[in-house]
Structure 1
Amino acid sequence: MTDHGGAAPAQYGRVMLKISGEALMGDQGYGLHPPTVARIADEVESVQKMGVEVCMVIGGGNIFRGLQGSAQGMERTTADYMGMLATVMNALAMQSALEAKGLHCRVISAIRMDEVCEPYIRRRAIRHLEKKRIVIFAAGTGNPYFTTDTAATLRANEMNCEAIFKGTKVDGVYDKDPKKHSDAKRYGEVSYDEVLQKHLGVMDASAIALARDNRLPIIVFSLDEPGGFRGILEGKGTYTRVHN
């Protein structure tokens, strides 16, 4: 285990920001909290102003979680599609918040709904990024049984992103839950294999394996820290870097 305490990763030109749906609900128990959505939009704006191209994947757990619906007796495929639709709602909310700041943003869905957002076409999405538009990928991979973590890793590889930034409630990856254990230790750096072997909960196993196979680093940081996203790109802050 190493702890760099916030040493800088390389400057990235194009990154994927993955956040959970729960990150958008603030202190509420469910749904969207507009001031929280606006604060996250501020974080994205500050990074884009550095010249970094940003794409995003947002989960849907604040509205509907497929696995929970399945556990309550709903057929899994149907439950997962409902979860995908929840991610579209979150993506539209984030798009609205970003556009309110005068930023250009596109929501691109893996499930066609042309009246609401664009369908996923890889070359078109890359062109949006090249034109410095923020791209939000919605509806996961378009397939049931895959999480938004896997969708974020897939899209990050397809978009030739240089890193995935996973915004969470804590400032990195710990050996146990820091909110329950005062002696929890944070990893400064950790390998993909160690994350899988120790079940560290960074992302689900298929997402970690996909990142490992394509040598795509994952930066885990606290989304609750104002300026944290930009700070890491400037070589400051506290985070965990998952890599080979």
Structure 2
Amino acid sequence: VKISKICQPIIVAGGGNIARHYITHARSSGADESTLDELGIEISRLNAKLLIYALKTKAYSHPPTTLQEVRHAVDDGLIVVTGGLHPGQSTNGTAALIAEKINAEQFLNATDVDGVYDMDPNKFKNAKKFKRIELKNLKNMLVHEDSVAGGYDLMDIVALKIIERSKIKTRIIKADLKTLEKAIKGGEVGTEIVLQSK
């Protein structure tokens, strides 16, 4: 809420472990990928509603379900919280599209790690964090990732294509309030995604 005094935040809630749990069970029951995507979107919207309830009158009353509705919600000047919008697209892709739609100053991808590493820091103690990474190099790293429902993690190719075409200033950061506030104020936290090395 304090952050909303210095900028217009738009939060895209992911489905998290709850969505992954539901998707795993639905997949084992024979659900197809588009149905699993829809399930993930619904769960991300429930997570968004939970955050809206916590923010009370500081937040727009419900999660917008289209890009146009996000645009209108931003005009109200309240904190906008949404979930997924389109099947086949991660909430990272959704967040990048929203950033493009509203001509955002920056796109902060807050996640469970504090930036981009050369390998999974949760599995490898010697993983090296990048302070800055070229978008094309990050694309190459992600080419081998899954694109099935519930399989999206750090960032996805759709989000990177949107960042590239819109030239949105993007940073991947740890999902905590202190880091978020520092990033909003221009601090060098996490990993900056750059179009080309300087």
The DSSP-based 3-state class of the residue aligned with 1:91 is helix
Match of 1:160 among 103, 122, 139: 103
2:89 aligns to what SS in structure 1? coil
Matched, 1:191 2:142: no
Pair 107,120 (structure 1): closer, same or farther in 2 beyond 3 Å: farther
1:124 corresponding residue in structure 2:
72
Change in CA separation of 1:146 and 1:70 when aligned onto 2, cut-off 3 Å: farther
- Is residue 176–residue 185 contact of structure 1 (8 Å, CA) maintained in 2? yes
RCO comparison, higher one (Cα < 8 Å, 6+): 1
The CA distance in 2 between the partners of 1:83 and 1:183, in whole Å, is: 33
Q: Does 1:233 align with 2:167?
A: no
TM-score (norm 1): 0.67
User: SS of 1:166's equivalent?
Assistant: strand
Is 2:171 aligned against 1:219? yes
TM superposition shift of 1:53: 0.7
Q: Unaligned stretches of 5+ in structure 2?
A: 144-152
Q: Does 1:64 align with 2:19?
A: yes
Matched, 1:97 2:54: yes
Residue 62 of structure 2 aligns to a residue whose secondary structure is: strand
Decide which structure has greater helix share.
2
1:48 alignment counterpart: 4
Shift in Å at residue 78 of structure 1? 1.8
The one-character-per-residue Cα deviations of 1:26-52 (angstroms, maximum 9, x if unpaired) are xxxxxxxxxxxxxxxxxxx23113x21
> Which amino acid in the other structure matches residue 178 of structure 2?
G
TM normalised by structure 2 equals: 0.81
Tell me the SS of whatever aligns to 1:109: coil
Structure 1 unaligned blocks of 5 or more = 1-44, 112-118
Deviation at 1:217, TM superposition (A): 2.2
Select which of 169, 178, 195 maps to 2:112.
169
> Greater share of strand residues, 1 or 2?
1
Fraction of identical pairs, as percent: 25
Offset at 1:110?
1.9
CA 1:229–1:52: 2 relative to 1, 3 Å: same
Q: CA RMSD in A?
A: 2.4
Deviation at 1:81, TM superposition (A): 1.2
Task: Render the CA deviation track for 1:160-183: whole Å, top value 9, x for unaligned.
Answer: 111111112221111111222222
